[in-house]
Amino acid sequence: KNIAFRLSMPQEIQLKLVFANDHNSTNFTVALNTSVKDVKGLILQKHWPSSPSLMPAAEVGRLRLFAAGKELGGKGSDDAKSLKDLNIVASQHGPTPVHVMAVQKEADAEKPQAASEDASKQASQCFCTVL
């Protein structure tokens, strides 16, 4: 008789969040069908450590997550992919390490562009003399 063994895929994964430039780490379990965007939201809302070496969660513009040398998601539509779609490899020996890097919010994204437009509209006031 041939007996076919069917390995069932786990529906959840335990992540160990390792925060850049900080000694804090935390573990949490999430469903594999969770989008990267939702994982990032959970990290900021429920798992962000209060540490003097990390910026406050309110100042974080976006998170970058890395596992097994690859970035999970990225920007825009890449964050809509689920952990399962990204083929995240679950650690056999405990929680899967995920490195968390925060990118600070820009103070006002419109100001630099508006300032450069105003500067280009003004006439040059160079008083250089070419000899």
Q: pLDDT value at position 128? A: 58
Q: What is the pLDDT of residues 45-101, one digit of tens each?
A: 999 999 889 999 999 999 999 999 999 998 888 899 999 999 888 888 899 999 999
The structure's pTM equals 0.73
Q: What is the pLDDT of residues 97-124, one digit of tens each?
A: 999 999 998 865 544 554 455 545 555 5
What single letter denotes the amino acid at residue 83? L
Average pLDDT, the chain: 81
Average pLDDT over residues 11-27: 92
